[in-house]
Amino acid sequence: QVQLVESGGGLVQAGTSLTLSCTASGTIYSNDAIGWFRQAPTKEREFVAAIRWRLNDKIYADSVKDRFTISRDAAKNTVYLQMNSLKPEDTAVYYCAVDRSPTRATMKISDKYDYWGQGTQVTISS
């Protein structure tokens, strides 16, 4: 079992930055992947970024590539999502999740993830 807690959300203006944190209690195994997803009102949950714990292999959605950066601090059992050049369309609840058996092909698929946090709201004003 692992519990995930997201933090760092808030209300900011377009063009600014935010950093989200996802801290895990319980064991993160070397083969696990940690992903960030988001869900805006009336929309499906969508993939944002993911990182494989040991390999430090990272993938991004096209919509955030070059603006968002995912990273991890193994000593703190924490994954970060640095979000730059924020746009109003980035407004959503952001969730982190753990996939115990990831492949590069499945890391973008929310149904493959085993544990989820409660989410943190990010609101970007224009």
Is pLDDT above 90 for 110? yes
Token pair for 121: 């709201």
Collect all residues with Cβ–Cβ distance below 8 Å to 88 and sequence separation of at least 6.
14, 124, 125, 126
Q: What share of the chain is helix, strand, coil (3-state, %, to 5)?
A: 5, 50, 40
Over the stretch 16-65, which tens digit does the pLDDT of each residue have? 999 999 999 999 999 999 999 999 999 999 999 999 998 889 999 999 99
| Residue 56: per-residue pLDDT | 86
| Residue 124: per-residue pLDDT | 98
pLDDT-based confidence at residue 114 (cuts at 50, 70, 90)? very high
Token pair for 84: 């730059």
pLDDT-based confidence at residue 105 (cuts at 50, 70, 90)? confident
| Residue 7: per-residue pLDDT | 98
Pairing of strands 58-60, 78-83: unpaired
| Residue 60: per-residue pLDDT | 97
Helix/strand/coil (H, E, C) string of 22-79? EEEEECCCCCCEEEEEEECCCCCCEEEEEEECCCCCEEECCCCCCCEEEEEEHHHCEE
Token pair for 117: 């946090």
pLDDT-based confidence at residue 104 (cuts at 50, 70, 90)? confident
